[in-house]
Structure formats: C-alpha cells, structure tokens
Amino acid sequence: MSTSVAIAVITFRRPALLRGLLTSLQAQELPSDGEYAIRIVVVDNDAEGSAARVLEEFGDGTPYPIESVVEPEPGIPFARERSVELCWNDDALIFVDDDEVAPAGWLATLLKAWESTGADVVTGPVKGNLPPGAPPWNAYSDVHDSTGRHTTGEELRKAYTNNTLVSRRVYHAVTPGFHPAFRYTGSSDLHFFLRVHRAGFRIVWCEEACIAEEVPVGRTTLRWLVRRAFRSGSGDTISRLLIRPGAVSYVLVLAYASARVISAIGFALAGLLLGRKTHLLKAVRRFFSGVGSLAGIVGINHDEYRERHGSADGGGAVPGDLDGGAGPGAARVADPGSAPLADHPDARLS
C-alpha cells in the first residue's frame, strides 16, 4: 500500500503567490524507491472564496489532486485546524505557507528524511528571497530565518508550519492543535510544536529540505523587525504559560526575558566596539524579543495579521481568546460543537 501524504496550504487573498506555490508543488518528483500518494489541501481563509480563481487553473491532469475548502472564521489557528481536519486520515501532512516556492527535489528530500530518521516531525529551512532595493542589512543578517541554523539530523524542541512534515500519530495525539488565542498574532504553530515536543515526539531537522519564501517590501524595514521581535517574544511567553500555567512558569519566562534583554546590551556594546552590524541587529532583535516576552506575561501581543484581515471582518472575541489583557491562563479552546474548530475527540488543550 502507498503512503498517503497531504500538503496543507492556508491562504488569504494572495492569488499570485498561491499560484506560484501550487505550480512549484505540481512540479515535484517523488522518491524512486517509495510508494507515495500525494495530494494538496488548500484552506482559503477568505469568506469570499477569492482563491477559487487560482484553483480553477489546476484542474484535471495535474500530477497531484487539489482539494480546497473555505474557512470563513478569520485567523490562522482556525485555518490550520481545518487543514488538520481535512488531512486526518493521511499518514502525514506537510505544512507550507502560501508565499513560498518549492525548489526541485524539495518534496523527495523531505520524504526521504522522514523515512531514514523515523522521526515524528521533520522540518527544514526557509530561504528568504529579498525584493529589489531591500536595505543591505536584510542580506547579511538572519532576520528572515525563523527556524535558526541547525545541522541535518539534529533534534529540536520546536518547529513552525512553514516547511514541516508531521506524522499522523502526532496530530492524532496533540489535539486540538492550534489555539484561537493566537488568532491574529501568529505563534499558534510554535505553541503546537512545543506541545508536540512535550508529548515526547521527535522533531528532526533536515538542512537539505530547503524551501524559498518571497519577502515583501514591508518586511525589510527596521520597524517590521522590531514588531516581529516583540511578537515572537510575546508569543513564546504566552505559549509556555498556556502549556504549563503556574508560578514556576512565570519565574522561568521572567528569567528568560531578562536574559534576552541583558544579552542584547552585550551584543550592542560588542557591535559598537568591533564595528559589527550583525551584532547590532542581534541586539535590536534580542532586546525587543525580551520586551515582548515580558509583555506576554500579562497577555499583551502584537496583532500582526489583524491588519491583513481588516477590522470589519466580524472577528470579535472567540472562546479561548486572550481578551482585554486577561492574561494567558489555562484557556479552554472552544465548546466541542463550535463550528470554527475541527471536531476532534479532545476539545481541551492538555
């Protein structure tokens, strides 16, 4: 029997980028020594179904069939959860973003790494393609590398949904996967994979399974860098407090945040004394990451994705939101019968 693998894509009003991704996915080849059944699942997070026009271009005759649905509830966690629901019976699903392009050999490399390592999760790097005229610091820094730098086979404590294969046993065990507290802020994937690691599953890095990402002009500014660092720090704190609420966790995240701020001062001094711009960039990132971590203790985060969905999307508070600065307690995800979330056996976060 062949191994069924679904490639899960969520998208929101980015037709040109979605077209580029789907074209690159349809061009992928499979390992010659394996039996795989590949399909693509697209979740359109636009209630108007704007992705339909692009999906019509990939009809009969494409190597890999495409299934698509509209998830009208705005927010990344809802779209991600819907994709898991649709891939529930596949042996594995691969998360990619709609602003990425898969180079030749990417899929085969990722599948081979999964086979050879026996890992529960396999994740790889994302290479940012900078737009023309981007400030030089974007090129010599790692600001567009959300996964860090690792060696093939290294075991990690976390991952993200931008280039990651997840075995079925993982998303059957760690469910629901994506918490609505991160509706517009991002970090729902970080929260999920922290729980995956905590549950004892192995997350393994594959350096060769690299995918490319188109970096928009808006993400090449220092203002974006500061906001992203703040959001990442806050998301990390909120994730950890949701997983393990209590005094011990508050002390640990406070210590982590303080260490980030102190290390930022060290990098800033070294950068000024040695004239190294990379050190100064790290100082900026670590400082605002530390500030974000402190803000996350009281549930404050930057709604980076609210601007894309717009304020008139009807997306008010939902069950499980961190609303009004209430702080990240042991939040309930939603009522078991709540339509926006997948109907999984377990309606609570563990």
When mean pLDDT is compared across 44-48, 54-58, 185-189, 196-200, the lowest value belongs to 185-189
73 and 172 fall within a common domain: yes
**Between 333 and 127, residue with greater pLDDT:** 127
Confidence band for 147, pLDDT divided at 50, 70 and 90: low
Report pLDDT digits (tens) over 306-317: 555 553 333 333
**pLDDT at residue 301, as a whole number:** 63
151 lies in a domain?
yes
Do 150 and 253 fall within a single domain?
no
Listed range (143-147, 192-196, 334-338) with the worst mean pLDDT: 334-338
pLDDT band at residue 141 under the 50/70/90 scheme: confident
Residue 274, classified by CB atoms within 10 Å of its CB into exposed (0-12), middle (13-18) or buried (19+), is exposed
And the tokens for 20? 């580029």
Mean pLDDT of 211-240: 91
Q: How far is CA 287 from CA 176, 276, 284, 290, in A?
A: 33, 17, 5, 5
Last residue of a domain, one of 196, 217, 238: 217
Give the C-alpha separation, 175 to 243, whole Å.
Answer: 13
Instruction: Residue 42: give its domain's CATH number.
Output: 3.90.550.10
How much is the pLDDT for 304?
54
| Inside any domain, residue 341 | no
Number of domains in the chain: 2
Residue 333 has pLDDT above 60, yes or no: no
Residue 136 sits in the same domain as residue 206: yes
pLDDT of residue 99: 94
Residue 328 included in any domain: no
> Does pLDDT of 349 surpass 80?
no
DSSP letters, 204-267, are: EE-TT--EEEEPPGGGSSHHHHHHHHHHHHHHHHHHHHHHS-SHHHHHHHHHHHHHHHHHHHHH
Which whole number is the average pLDDT over 110-137? 94
| Residue 48 maps to a domain | yes
Helical H segments across the chain, by residue range: 15-26, 52-55, 76-86, 106-117, 137-140, 168-173, 188-198, 222-243, 247-274, 277-296, 306-309
Same domain, 196 and 278: no
Q: What pLDDT is recorded for position 53?
A: 94
Please identify, among 165, 198, 217, the residue that sits at the C-terminal boundary of a domain.
217
Distance separating alpha carbons of residues 321 and 149, to the nearest angstrom: 33
Please report whether residue 327 resides in a domain. no
Q: What is the pLDDT of residue 139?
A: 83
Q: What is the pLDDT confidence band of residue 190, given thresholds at 50, 70 and 90? A: very high
Least confident of 133-137, 293-297, 309-313: 309-313
pLDDT, position 331: 31
Contact at 8 Å (CB) between 67 and 43? no
Residue 295 falls within a domain, yes or no?
Answer: yes
Radius of gyration, alpha carbons of the chain = 20
- Domain check: are 183 and 245 in the same one? no
347 within some domain:
no
Please state, in angstroms and rounded to a whole number, the distance separating the CA atoms of residues 316 and 311. 9
By residue range, what is the domain housing residue 117? 3-217
The tens digit of pLDDT for each residue in 43-99 reads 999 999 999 999 999 988 899 999 999 999 999 999 999 999 999 999 999 999 999
H helix intervals, 45-144: 52-55, 76-86, 106-117, 137-140
Same domain assignment for residues 174 and 242: no
The answer, yes or no, to whether residue 326 has pLDDT greater than 90, is no
Per-residue pLDDT, 95: 98
CA–CA dist 281, 278 (Å, integer): 5
Pull the structure tokens for residue 178: 């994506």
The SS3 of residue 200 is: coil
Mean predicted lDDT score pLDDT of the chain: 85
Indicate whether 305 pLDDT > 80. Answer: no
**What's the token pair of residue 209?**
């399974």
Task: Verify that 193 and 242 share a domain, yes or no.
Answer: no
